[in-house]
């Protein structure tokens, strides 16, 4: 019964939203209800996730488990951001600087670490796999892409070199177009699978 | 008058003919026959004059048939091997037919291999599904009809030939082969109707297997069975118990596996069994870290970038070119009419704030003062990032539409809201105002190709007249380039390189160019490290515990 209820709910909501593309005026009140309910559920899921994370770290602090310092820092940062948001409101310049001046360097540093990590991973690939056609192709394409992105090679667009360069720069676009087509087809198929109840992530299947 | 009978089609040909006038078969070895003589002798010396010398080996059954009666109406009645309907027809049927039926009951192989095969095929077909059964039954019925016609014609052609009494066993085989030859569809392997024969052989083989005989070979492994060879190896007529097929127990079907499938199944079973096998844990040992390598790498990477950032431009490095997409964005913004409304969509994470602020700076600085800027954010940190950027660029937004939860709201929210203000009533208050205004241009600042794609696909269809421009990171640029090429997007600036080129063309401050050159130095350092690392680690395999 529970499974049937889930399937019916998904089917009704999906078909109603899909119909809303064609009958917007008629289905506007129903769509409003669906979207507001969806937003509330989405927000509630976020709150549940935050609550679970807090409980996990609070439990770790109480039990004195490993990495207790990280948990303490996380809890303090969370409380500061929460209290500052309630007291100062997000429109406050102080609150904005408080958040962004921490968040931007931290996230940007993570990206920098990611770049160096990828570099190390490339070298390890050669060490682990040796000189295989795949590793050679990977290394060659990586170096070639980096050189192209560095802007060191600049030729006139009308010259032969410029045309060759433009051709080489278009190669990633070919892959990008293929990925876009694949994403579109994949989205279409997944939508159909949900509507036809072939995939039921809500039901544990 | 003598004539030649074609061995293939049975047509009569004149003595002078070398090939059959009907089918074109060779008549070189055909012995002439004289119909008049045969008919003249009929009744006087039946035993020895009705058949020619060549047909002295006709089976006893056929001889009896010819000597006793002539078939009424020229047709051969259907042989009822099961004896059904015999009582109702006993008064009407001629005596020769009774002889046939009697012999069929006494000698089960007298009906001939062809008939046995047909009956066996019928028994086999009863085990098939209704659809296949209908097809095969119709085919067999057609085959039977054709066989009967051929047999009758063959019998008629042999009526004039003399009989020579009982034929030996070899003569019976010849007779059977002649009947097969007359049937056309039951020929041997060197004849053209191999496909029909294959199907019939298959049916017979199926019948044999169901009666207990399994093909020889390795147990459990399907091996190719040449049904044709098997059928011809057993050329003699076999006994088939008519009517017993339905009572036989249907043997359970075996799982047929090819050798490759069996090997794969064995491999899977071995893998599953091996999963739970205890293995010695190999301790992970960390090799000596080459700290000096890391130090040199960090020195060149950080030092080079800092040197460029704090010392000014390096004229050794080329300046970035002005891209057509960047120039299109700049022209689109500069051409906005007075009191135009421009929508800024902030859709990026704080990690990319440093890049996108430099990308957006040349464009937003070129905005006319009279343009009214509306701001909406579709990322959680968007309102803070928008406030920070606009304050730095000294742009005061006319309308702040706040935060639109695009990830939860999806593309449909944009499409429905933009297409109809009535449908936008269910939007959040700030976002609903988005769709009430008419914008003269839209600028999307995004670090994510997927989210930017949603905006582009919805806006380019619903408001195609509104210029749509993208200010994105270098990471998202390649994925969004097709939309620029297709014309769905007016222009696009991707990464600091485009911003630096645009800045150079406008002869403004060196900020973006400096960062671009720092980026170049960082890239060159990475390229050098990559190449050096590969050259210094040319050993083929890796040893556990080694570090780079």
Question: pLDDT tens for residues B518-538?
Answer: 888 888 888 888 888 877 765
Asked if the model's pLDDT at residue B270 lies above 60, the reply is yes
How many residues does this entry show for chain B?
548
Long-range contacts of B28-34 (CB under 8 A, 24+ apart): B30/B4, B30/B5, B30/B6, B32/B2, B32/B3, B32/B4, B33/B2, B33/B3, B33/B4, B33/B5, B33/B160, B33/B161, B34/B1, B34/B2, B34/B3
* Cβ atoms < 10 Å from Cβ of A142: 17
Please indicate whether, in this complex, the C-beta atoms of B425 and A32 are within 8 angstroms of each other. Answer: yes
User: A with B: how many residue pairs have Cβ under 8 Å apart?
Assistant: 140
Asked if the model's pLDDT at residue B305 lies above 80, the reply is yes
Q: For chain A, say whether B402 makes contact (Cβ under 8 Å).
A: no
- How far apart CA B125 and CA B132 sit, in angstroms, is 8
How confident is the model at residue B283, as a pLDDT?
62
CA distance B416 to chain A (A): 7
3-state SS track over chain A: CHHHHHHHHHHHHHHHHHHHCCCHHHHHHHHHHHHHHHHHHHHHHHHHHHHHHHHHHHHHHHHCCCCHHHHHHHHHHHHHHHHHHHHHCCCCHHHHHHHHHHHHHHHHHHHHHHHHHHHHHHHHHHHHHCCCHHHHHHHHHHHHHHHHHCCCCCCCCCCHHHHHHHHHHHHHHHHHHHHHHHHHHHHHHHHHHHHCCCCCHHHCC
Asked if the model's pLDDT at residue B6 lies above 60, the reply is yes
**Out of B120-134, B343-357, B470-484, which region has the weakest mean confidence (pLDDT)?**
B120-134
Please indicate whether, in this complex, the C-beta atoms of A20 and B453 are within 8 angstroms of each other. Answer: no
Q: For chain A, say whether B541 makes contact (Cβ under 8 Å).
A: yes
The mean per-residue pLDDT over the stretch B186-198 comes to 49
Q: What is the pLDDT of residues A108-135, one digit of tens each?
A: 999 989 988 888 888 888 777 777 888 8
How confident is the model at residue A39, as a pLDDT?
79
The mean per-residue pLDDT over the stretch B11-21 comes to 82
Q: Which residue has the tokens 């990280």?
A: A70
Task: Concatenate the DSSP letters of all residues of B304-350 into one string.
Answer: HHHHHHHH---TTSPPPPPPHHHHHHHHHHHTPPTT-EEEEEEE--G
Instruction: Report the candidate in B325, B326, B364 with the shortest Cα–Cα distance to residue B343.
Output: B364
Residue A24 lies in a domain: yes
- How far apart CA B151 and CA B493 sit, in angstroms, is 88
How confident is the model at residue B190, as a pLDDT?
46
Q: Chain B residue with minimal CA distance to A143?
A: B527
Task: Look at residue B13 and give its three-state secondary structure.
Answer: strand
Nearest CB to B542 within list A25, A32, A127: A127
Alpha carbon B236 to its chain centroid, in Å, reads 45
- How far apart CA B23 and CA B6 sit, in angstroms, is 8
- How far apart CA B419 and CA B161 sit, in angstroms, is 96
- How far apart CA B390 and CA B392 sit, in angstroms, is 5
Assess contact for B51 and B158: CB atoms under 8 A. Answer: yes
CA distance B469 to chain A (A): 19
CA distance A192 to chain B (A): 16
Most A-contacting residue of B318, B384, B473, B547 (CB-CB within 10 A), to test interface: B384
Residue A142 lies in a domain: no
Q: What is the pLDDT of residues B479-522, one digit of tens each?
A: 888 888 888 899 999 988 888 887 755 555 557 778 888 888 88
Most A-contacting residue of B315, B351, B432, B546 (CB-CB within 10 A), to test interface: B351
Structural domain harbouring A1? 1-88
Q: Which residue has the tokens 């800092």?
A: B306
Tally of structural domains, chain A: 1
How confident is the model at residue B501, as a pLDDT?
81
Q: Chain A residue with minimal CA distance to B526?
A: A119
Residues 6+ apart with CB under 8 A from B405: A39, A42, B378, B428
- How far apart CA B355 and CA B391 sit, in angstroms, is 17
How confident is the model at residue A50, as a pLDDT?
94
Q: How confident is the model at residue B225 (pLDDT cuts 50, 70, 90)?
A: very low
How confident is the model at residue B130, as a pLDDT?
66
Residues in B 497-526 with any Cβ partner in A closer than 8 A: 497, 516, 520, 523-524, 526
Query: What is the ipTM, given to two decimal places?
Result: 0.77
Q: What is the mean pLDDT of chain A?
A: 85
**Out of B308-317, B359-368, B454-463, which region has the weakest mean confidence (pLDDT)?**
B308-317
Q: How confident is the model at residue B40 (pLDDT cuts 50, 70, 90)?
A: very low
Nearest CB to A25 within list B350, B422, B546: B422
**Half-sphere exposure in the Cβ direction for B60 (13 Å, CA):** 10
Long-range contacts of B515-520 (CB under 8 A, 24+ apart): B515/B309, B515/B358, B516/A151, B516/B320, B517/B308, B517/B313, B517/B314, B517/B317, B518/B305, B518/B308, B518/B309, B520/A150, B520/A151, B520/A152, B520/B317
Q: Which residue has the tokens 């990032």?
A: B385
Q: How confident is the model at residue B211 (pLDDT cuts 50, 70, 90)?
A: low
Asked if the model's pLDDT at residue B180 lies above 80, the reply is no
Which residues are registered as beta bridge partners of B406?
none
CA distance B506 to chain A (A): 19
Residue A77 lies in a domain: yes
What tokens appear for A118 in the block?
């990828």
Q: Which residues of A touch B423 (CB under 8 A)?
A: 20, 24-25, 28, 31
Nearest CB to A90 within list B384, B425, B453: B384
How confident is the model at residue A66, as a pLDDT?
81
Q: What is the pLDDT of residues B93-136, one digit of tens each?
A: 667 777 767 776 666 555 555 566 666 666 666 666 666 666 66
How confident is the model at residue B197, as a pLDDT?
56
CA distance B301 to chain A (A): 10
| Angle, helix B406-419 to helix A2-20, in steps of 10 degrees | 40
CA distance B431 to chain A (A): 13
Most A-contacting residue of B479, B502, B535, B541 (CB-CB within 10 A), to test interface: B479
How confident is the model at residue B259, as a pLDDT?
84
Q: Which residues of A touch B482 (CB under 8 A)?
A: 173, 176-177, 180
Asked if the model's pLDDT at residue B398 lies above 70, the reply is yes
Q: How confident is the model at residue B186 (pLDDT cuts 50, 70, 90)?
A: very low
CA distance B151 to chain A (A): 60
Q: What is the mean pLDDT of chain B?
A: 69
CA distance A159 to chain B (A): 15
Please indicate whether, in this complex, the C-beta atoms of B408 and A38 are within 8 angstroms of each other. Answer: yes
Q: Which residues of A touch B473 (CB under 8 A)?
A: none
- B112 membership: H or E segment, kind and range: helix B112-125
Q: Between residues B29 and B353, which one has the greater pLDDT? A: B353
Nearest CB to B426 within list A31, A99, A131: A31
Asked if the model's pLDDT at residue B285 lies above 80, the reply is no
List helix spans (H) across B420-510: 429-432, 449-462, 477-486, 495-505
State the DSSP code for B489: S
How confident is the model at residue B444, as a pLDDT?
93
Please indicate whether, in this complex, the C-beta atoms of A99 and B353 are within 8 angstroms of each other. Answer: no
Q: Between residues B167 and A170, which one has the greater pLDDT? A: A170
Please indicate whether, in this complex, the C-beta atoms of B320 and A115 are within 8 angstroms of each other. Answer: no
Q: For chain A, say whether B387 makes contact (Cβ under 8 Å).
A: yes
State the DSSP code for B214: -
How confident is the model at residue A7, as a pLDDT?
83
CA distance A55 to chain B (A): 23
How confident is the model at residue B66, as a pLDDT?
54
Asked if the model's pLDDT at residue B324 lies above 90, the reply is no
Residues 6+ apart with CB under 8 A from B115: B79, B81
- How far apart CA A70 and CA A57 sit, in angstroms, is 9
Nearest CB to B520 within list A151, A177, A179: A151
Q: What is the pTM of this model?
A: 0.56
Q: Which residue has the tokens 């009308």?
A: A158
CA distance B531 to chain A (A): 8
Asked if the model's pLDDT at residue B185 lies above 50, the reply is no
Please indicate whether, in this complex, the C-beta atoms of A139 and B530 are within 8 angstroms of each other. Answer: yes
End-to-end CA distance of chain B: 106
Q: Which residues of A touch B409 (CB under 8 A)?
A: 35, 39
Asked if the model's pLDDT at residue B89 lies above 50, the reply is no
Q: Between residues B462 and B66, which one has the greater pLDDT? A: B462
Please indicate whether, in this complex, the C-beta atoms of B529 and A119 are within 8 angstroms of each other. Answer: yes
Residue A82 lies in a domain: yes
Residue A194 lies in a domain: no
* Cβ atoms < 10 Å from Cβ of A185: 10
Q: Chain B residue with minimal CA distance to A151?
A: B320
Residue A145 lies in a domain: no
Q: Chain A residue with minimal CA distance to B545?
A: A128
Nearest CB to A96 within list B388, B415, B526: B388
How many residues does this entry show for chain A?
205
Task: Look at residue B470 and give its three-state secondary structure.
Answer: strand
Residues of chain A with pLDDT under 50: none
Please indicate whether, in this complex, the C-beta atoms of B516 and A39 are within 8 angstroms of each other. Answer: no
Assess contact for A10 and A197: CB atoms under 8 A. Answer: yes
Please indicate whether, in this complex, the C-beta atoms of A173 and B524 are within 8 angstroms of each other. Answer: no
Q: Which residues of B touch A179 (CB under 8 A)?
A: 479
Residue A127 lies in a domain: no
Residue A109 lies in a domain: no
């Amino acid at each position: 019964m529970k499974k049937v209820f889930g399937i019916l709910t998904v089917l009704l909501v999906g078909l109603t939203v899909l119909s809303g593309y064609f009958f917007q005026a008629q289905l506007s009140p129903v769509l409003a209800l669906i979207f507001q309910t969806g937003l509330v559920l989405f927000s509630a899921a976020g709150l549940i996730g935050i609550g679970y994370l807090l409980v996990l770290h609070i439990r770790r602090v109480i039990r004195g488990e490993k990495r207790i310092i990280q948990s303490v820092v996380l809890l303090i940062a969370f409380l500061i951001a929460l209290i500052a948001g309630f007291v100062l409101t997000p429109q406050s310049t102080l609150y904005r600087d408080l958040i962004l001046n921490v968040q931007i360097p931290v996230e940007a540093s993570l990206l920098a670490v990611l770049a160096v990590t990828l570099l190390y991973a490339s070298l390890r690939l050669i060490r682990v796999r040796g000189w295989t056609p795949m590793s050679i192709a990977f290394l060659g394409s990586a170096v070639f892409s980096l050189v192209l992105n560095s802007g060191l090679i600049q030729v006139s667009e009308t010259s032969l070199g410029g045309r060759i360069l433009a051709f080489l720069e278009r190669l990633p676009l070919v892959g990008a177009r293929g990925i876009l087509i694949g994403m579109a087809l994949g989205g279409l198929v997944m939508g159909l699978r949900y509507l036809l109840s072939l995939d039921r992530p809500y039901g544990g299947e | 008058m003598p004539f030649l009978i074609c061995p293939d089609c049975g047509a009569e040909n004149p003595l002078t003919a070398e090939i059959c006038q009907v089918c074109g078969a060779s008549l070189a070895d055909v012995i002439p026959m004289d119909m008049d003589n045969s008919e003249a002798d009929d009744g006087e010396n039946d035993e020895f004059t009705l058949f020619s010398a060549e047909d002295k080996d006709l089976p006893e059954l056929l001889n009896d048939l010819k000597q006793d009666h002539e078939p009424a109406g020229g047709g051969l009645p259907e042989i009822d091997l099961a004896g059904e309907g015999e009582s109702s027809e006993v008064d009407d049927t001629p005596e020769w037919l009774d002889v046939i039926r009697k012999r069929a009951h006494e000698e089960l192989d007298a009906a001939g291999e062809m008939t046995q095969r047909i009956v066996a095929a019928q028994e086999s077909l009863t085990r098939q599904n209704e659809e296949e059964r209908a097809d095969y039954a119709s085919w067999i019925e057609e085959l039977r009809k054709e066989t009967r016609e051929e047999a009758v014609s063959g019998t008629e052609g042999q009526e004039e030939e003399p009989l020579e009494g009982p034929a030996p066993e070899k003569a019976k085989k010849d007779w059977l082969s002649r009947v097969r030859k007359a049937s056309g569809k039951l020929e041997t392997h060197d004849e053209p109707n191999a496909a029909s024969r294959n199907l019939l052989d298959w049916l017979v083989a199926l019948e044999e297997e169901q009666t207990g005989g399994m093909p020889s070979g390795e147990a459990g492994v399907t091996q190719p069975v040449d049904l044709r060879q098997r059928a011809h190896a057993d050329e003699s007529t076999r006994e088939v118990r008519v009517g017993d097929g339905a009572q036989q127990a249907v043997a359970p079907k075996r799982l047929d596996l090819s050798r490759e499938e069996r090997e794969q199944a064995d491999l899977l079973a071995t893998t599953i069994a091996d999963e739970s096998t205890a293995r010695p844990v190999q301790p992970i040992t960390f090799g000596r870290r080459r700290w000096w390598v890391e130090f040199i790498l960090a020195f060149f990477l950080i030092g080079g970038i800092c040197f460029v950032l704090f010392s000014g431009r390096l004229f050794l490095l080329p300046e970035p070119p002005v891209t057509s997409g960047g120039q299109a964005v700049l022209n689109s913004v500069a051409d906005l009419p007075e009191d135009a409304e421009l929508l800024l969509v902030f859709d990026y994470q704080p990690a990319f704030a440093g890049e996108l602020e430099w990308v957006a700076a040349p464009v937003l600085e070129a905005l006319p003062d009279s343009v009214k800027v509306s701001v909406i954010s579709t990322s959680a940190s968007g309102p803070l990032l928008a406030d920070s950027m606009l304050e730095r660029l000294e742009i005061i937004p006319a309308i702040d539409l706040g935060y639109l939860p695009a990830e939860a709201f999806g593309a449909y929210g944009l499409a429905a809201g933009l297409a109809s203000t009535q449908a936008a009533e269910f939007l959040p208050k700030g976002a609903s105002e988005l769709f009430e205004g008419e914008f003269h241009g839209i600028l999307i600042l995004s670090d994510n190709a997927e989210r930017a794609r949603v905006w582009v696909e919805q806006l380019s269809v619903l408001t195609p007249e509104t210029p749509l421009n993208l200010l994105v990171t270098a990471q998202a640029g390649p994925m969004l380039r097709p939309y620029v090429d297709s014309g769905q997007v007016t222009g696009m600036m991707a990464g600091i390189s485009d911003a630096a080129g645009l800045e150079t063309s406008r002869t403004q401050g060196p900020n973006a160019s400096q960062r671009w050159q720092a980026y170049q130095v960082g890239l060159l350092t990475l390229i050098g490290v990559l190449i050096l690392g590969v050259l210094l680690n040319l050993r083929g395999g890796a040893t556990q515990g080694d570090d780079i």
